[in-house]
Structure 1
């Protein structure tokens, strides 16, 4: 009874009825909506679908058919279209292999620009809609045909795309795409920190193709001059008026597979209020993703904390030094603290702190002085090595 009540409330809040939320799919399957655990943060618009490949059922659906501008998620369709008729051996020229690797691992926009034009732009989208049986995917709106990131997709169409890759695509195609997604780089080709959502919520194994569109202050993840602003992936919407598919609010999407054998397919597409910082969007999509029922997922060990300041260094060791910086945190992101230890004293007047937090998902340490907690030593975090 409780699951039915929770599900009904979520569907009502999303503007859906139980019957309309689970339409029959083109492949004949009927998605099953269970009592959702999804916790959508205030102000966030979300489309969510989690599909358990072991049981053949959806474990989560929130606005599954809602269209979002896909941002870089459309790169999955570009890769599939390019590989569609490569012959029995699926031989890929070296130059294209380099481009595909960069587009799928580090979300190279330069590679996407190349394939968008080479594959016929809207014609590519139309082909993939027909081939995969997509029901919510449409090309960019009139006047924006060159903007591949404005291709509209839904959470359920994203799941359908991954189901094709995993279960129907020829092995060389499946392996090329999935092997690259398993090697997703933390820093995208434009230095955007793309290990949010799935990549921060769950321990490996996972494979991800992320998407972002719009400008987020302090979204960079590699060492950059203090105060540097993050670039926008996909041409930003600027002053465009809202269309049937929202082209204005900042978008942040996490999609991929989680668990051994790619057990669960996860698609979380989100829009955030205008002016949202990357740290806030990162935190919100992380909390939403962690709230989901994802069969086969590996829980990460540690405690989540908010941070303050910008360009905070993550270091190899708990000490200040020019040669031990691994990366810099985007301003205000929530971080997972695995353990803590004493190290070099850090002073930010009027405060001083010699405790350092180990961040397992970054593989390094940050000073506790930048963690949003009043105590120098975090009371609920173990000592490193204990």
Structure 2
């Protein structure tokens, strides 16, 4: 989604060592896990330590070359930070700001927090599938940057400011940091009224693989760890070929569906920009300068949320990638970074990670070219848990009848698209027969 908050990706070409081919409506839920009370935790407003300090262990975040990252991992059970890198660095929020839009919606809905059907129809897909048009609606209806001002005050945020002057209509250009993202989740889990917490977290647990603009949004936390997890992802920039689903819309088609899906410098006179003289137009010079320092050029990809039973760990990983980076490369780099983190309570899935090549590679229901479940972003790294023989696939001059099972996709892809010199992968077991 590019909405100011979403994704795009370029079809990328990376060498495959084997093939040597060019790389080519939920009711208000009551299922939220109980929060842990095993140890006291500092107040939500407590600051993280200096940007490269941790409370319980040496930081182990492995940031890929060329990637700029802000990382914070907070253990709610012990009240300590296990990872902090560039904790206060500001990034454009992309869709992560939708958490603040949702919280602001609930500000004046107490004490019962009833959600009208029309709002439920917008809020649920906004949280689950990053629906941009819902964000457009609430940004306009509730005052644009004034939403951010209210949330900064209510949640005690330190680094969050509205979009730069002249770009007030672009909610995804709100500046945010990893430490403020952790504060947002801590507020939701520890201070928000129970109906608000349950609504937000239940929807984040039901994050859909395909976002509303047809981009695969199960990167980072959703790929690195087994459930239980709850995520709100964000992506913004010149991406292509990040589509998923057996017949996902093209990036151009997705972009045409949202009024703020701009791939170039935004138009200050956009339809959803606040009018001159509005509260946003009177923002202080200090706030404007802070927002203007945020990098709006490099592609952004963010993974945020909770991991483990009782939402034990809060994870915020905000990243920027070199201009021209493909979606699959950014997806893979963010995945490697997330997997390197010390995340208390996390369960890591079994299997081996392999690179892939090709564009629009199908994940199939079985080890045949029959029904497609979804498609992979071009060049993305995938987890393979086992392999089996099936229908022979030919990509001249290569043929292969081995298929890899991708547990996080619930289906099979032909081994011909796995970046390995062997038809049968040497370190992956054969799938057990039923």
Q: Same fold (TM over 0.5)?
A: yes
Aligned to 2:45, which of 27, 30, 35? 27
Which secondary structure state, in structure 2, belongs to the residue aligned with residue 358 of structure 1?
Answer: strand
The separation in 2 between residues aligned to 1:358 and 1:251, in whole angstroms, is 30
Of the candidates 248, 252, 272, which is equivalent to residue 321 of structure 2?
272
Q: Shift of residue 27 of structure 1?
A: 2.9
Rounded to whole Å, the distance in 1 between the matches of 2:319 and 2:388 is 36
Cα deviation for residue 30 of structure 1 reads 5.6
CA positional deviation for 1:25: 8.4
Extract structure 1 runs of 4+ deviating beyond 2 A: 24-32, 223-237
Task: Find the counterpart in structure 2 of residue 341 from structure 1.
Answer: 388
Match of 1:285 in 2: 334
Counterpart in the other structure of 1:251: 300
Task: Find the counterpart in structure 2 of residue 376 from structure 1.
Answer: 423
Of 157, 173, 185, the residue aligned with 1:162 is 185
User: What CA deviation, in whole Å up to 9, does each residue of 1:164-221 have, x standing for no partner?
Assistant: 0000000000000000000000000000110000000000000000000012121001
Secondary structure of 1:157 counterpart? helix
For residues 103-142 of structure 1, the aligned pairs below 5 Å read: 103-142=126-165
Alignment partners' CA distance in 1, 2:206 and 2:415: 30
Q: Quote the offset at 1:238 in angstroms.
A: 1.2
CA RMSD of aligned residues (A): 2.0
Partner residue in 1 for 2:228: 205
The alignment's TM-score, normalised by the length of structure 2, stands at: 0.80
Distance change >3 Å, CA 227–CA 177, structure 1 → 2: closer
Say whether 1:191 aligns with 2:240.
Answer: no
The answer on whether the counterparts of 2:45 and 2:157 sit within 8 Å (CA) in structure 1 is no
Quote the residue 1:8 is aligned against: none
Report SS of the residue matched to 1:300.
coil
**Aligned 8 A contact 1:185 1:194 in 2:** yes
TM-score, scaled to structure 1: 0.90
Question: SS state of the match for residue 98, structure 2?
Answer: helix
Q: CA 1:42 to 1:30, structure 2 compared with 1: closer, same or farther past 3 Å?
A: closer
Aligned counterparts of 2:47 and 2:239: Cα–Cα separation in 1: 39
1:151 aligns with 2:151: no
Q: Tell me how far 1:142 sits from its aligned partner.
A: 0.5
Aligned residue-pair number: 361
Task: Point out which structure has higher relative CO (alpha carbons under 8 A, 6+ apart).
Answer: 2
Q: Where in structure 1 are there 5+ consecutive unaligned residues?
A: 1-23
Q: CA deviation at 1:224?
A: 3.2
Q: Which residue of 2 aligns with 1:314?
A: 363
The answer to whether residue 434 in structure 2 is matched with residue 366 in structure 1 is no
Alignment-derived partner of residue 312 in structure 2: 263
Is the aligned partner of 1:174 residue 2:197? yes
CA distance in structure 2 between the partners assigned to 1:109 and 1:68 by the alignment: 19
In structure 2, relative to structure 1, the CA distance for the partners of 1:249 and 1:298 (3 Å cut) is: same
Q: Distance in 2 between matches of 1:304 and 1:379?
A: 13
Corresponding residue to 1:47 among 24, 45, 70: 70
* Structure-2 separation of matches of 1:84 and 1:65: 26
CA distance in 2, matches of 1:225, 1:62: 36
Q: Which residue of 2 aligns with 1:235?
A: 261
Give unmatched runs, 5+ long, in structure 2: 1-41, 267-290
The answer to whether structure 1 residue 66 and structure 2 residue 113 are counterparts is no
Contact 1:51 1:159 in 2 (8 A): yes
Per the alignment, in what secondary structure is the counterpart of residue 298 of structure 1? Answer: coil
Give the corresponding residue for 2:112: 89
Whole-Å Cα distance in 1 between the matches of residues 43 and 299 of structure 2?
29
User: Are the structure 2 counterparts of residues 52 and 230 from structure 1 closer, same or farther at C-alpha, using a change threshold of 3 Å?
Assistant: farther
Question: CA 1:28–1:107 in 2, change beyond 3 Å: closer, same or farther?
Answer: closer
